[in-house]
Structure 1
Amino acid sequence: MSATRLLVLGVVRMFGRAHGYQVRRELLTWSAEKWANVQPGSIYHALKKMTAENLLEKVDVEPGDSGPDRVAYRLTDDGEQEFQLLLTRALSDPEVGHPEMSAGIGLMPALPRQHAISLLRQRLVHLEGEERRARLMLDDQADWGQPAHVVELFRLWAGISGASHTWLENLIERLEKGEYVMADDAEPLFRNPPQ
Structure 2
Amino acid sequence: MSSSTRLLILGTLLDGPMNGYQVRRRLEVMGADGWASVAFGSIYHGLSKMADEGLLTVVESGKGGKTVYEITETGREEFHRNLLISWHEVRPVVDPFQVALTYMDRLSSEELVPALYGRIQELRRQITLIEHAYGAKQRYGAPRHIDENLRLMAAMFAAQLAWAEHAVTQVEAGELP
Deviations 1:101-137 (A, max 9, x none): xxxxx99x8xxxxxxxxxxxxxxxxxxxxxxxxxxxx
Of 59, 67, 73 in structure 2, the residue corresponding to residue 77 of structure 1 is: 73
Secondary structure of 2:59 counterpart: strand
Task: Find out whether 1:28 has 2:28 as its counterpart.
Answer: yes
Q: Is 1:88–2:91 an aligned residue pair? A: no
Task: Among all aligned residue pairs of Structure 1 and Structure 2, give the percentage whose two residues are the same amino acid.
Answer: 38
Amino acid at match of 1:84: H
Q: What letter corresponds to residue 51 of structure 1 in structure 2?
A: A
Distance 2:71 2:46 in 1: 13
Aligned position for 1:5? 6
Q: Deviations over 1:26-72 (max 9, x none)?
A: 000111112112122111111011111110110011112xxxx2001
Q: Structure 2 matches for 1:180-191, cutoff 5 A?
A: none
Structure 1 unmatched ranges of 5 or more? 99-105, 110-147, 151-195
SS in 2 for 1:34: helix
> Contact (CA 8 Å) 1:90, 1:96: kept in 2 or not?
no
By how many angstroms is 1:97 displaced? 5.4
Equivalent position of 1:56 in the other structure: 56
Amino acid at match of 1:20: G
Aligned-partner Cα distance in 2 for 1:92–1:27: 23
CA distance in 2: counterparts of 1:54 and 1:24, whole angstroms = 21
Does residue 17 of structure 1 match 2:20?
no
Provide the rounded CA distance (Å) in 1 between the counterparts of 2:7 and 2:19: 16
Measured in 1, the distance between the counterparts of 2:28 and 2:83 equals: 20
Structure 2 partner of 1:37: 37
Question: Quick one: distance in 2 between partners of 1:61 and 1:48?
Answer: 12
Please tell me whether the aligned partners of residues 4 and 38 of structure 1 are also in contact (alpha carbons under 8 angstroms).
Answer: yes
Which runs of no fewer than 5 residues in structure 2 stay unpaired? 95-141, 146-174
**Letter in structure 2 aligned against 1:89:** I
8 A contact 1:55–1:75 mirrored in 2: yes
* Superposition map of 1:149-160 within 5 A: none
Q: Would you identify which runs of 4 or more consecutive aligned residues in structure 1 move more than 6 Å?
A: none
Which of the pair has the greater relative contact order for Cα pairs under 8 Å at 6+ separation? 1
1:90-109 alignment, distance < 5 Å:
90-95=86-91
* Structure richer in helix, relative to its length: 2
Cα RMSD of the aligned pairs, angstroms, is 2.5
